[in-house]
Amino acid sequence: MERYTGAFEEAVDGARQQERHYQLLSALQGLVKELPSSFQQRLSYTTLSDLALALLDGTVFEIVQGLLEIQHLTEKSLYNQRLRLQNEHRGSFPRSAAPRATPPPTH
């Protein structure tokens, strides 16, 4: 009996996945219609279908999430580096010895 239950669940999951694929494909086709015709011609039904299948797989979202985390870490590191360099720069020119703009000569 378990074997039949498992097969039924797989069929239901397959039907859900197929329905989700159709929804994503329809959404992609709607987006493509908004593009200029020269771009529309380059995006075949097969390409859109493959893209929809790729979106069904969570791998794409995992990659994007990983890239987002890398971006945040890089931005934080660059910000900290900027602050450190600013502090070093301020430290190399004490306020009393900092170069000052000389007033224009008065004649």
Q: What is the pLDDT of residue 77?
A: 97
Domain-wise residue ranges, the chain: 1-57, 58-92
How far is 20 from 9, CA to CA, in rounded Å? 16
Mean pLDDT by 10 residues, the chain (107 residues): 63 85 96 94 94 88 94 97 94 60 62
Predicted local confidence at residue 103, as pLDDT: 61
Coarse DSSP helix, strand, coil percentages of the chain, rounded to the nearest 5 percent: 75, 0, 25
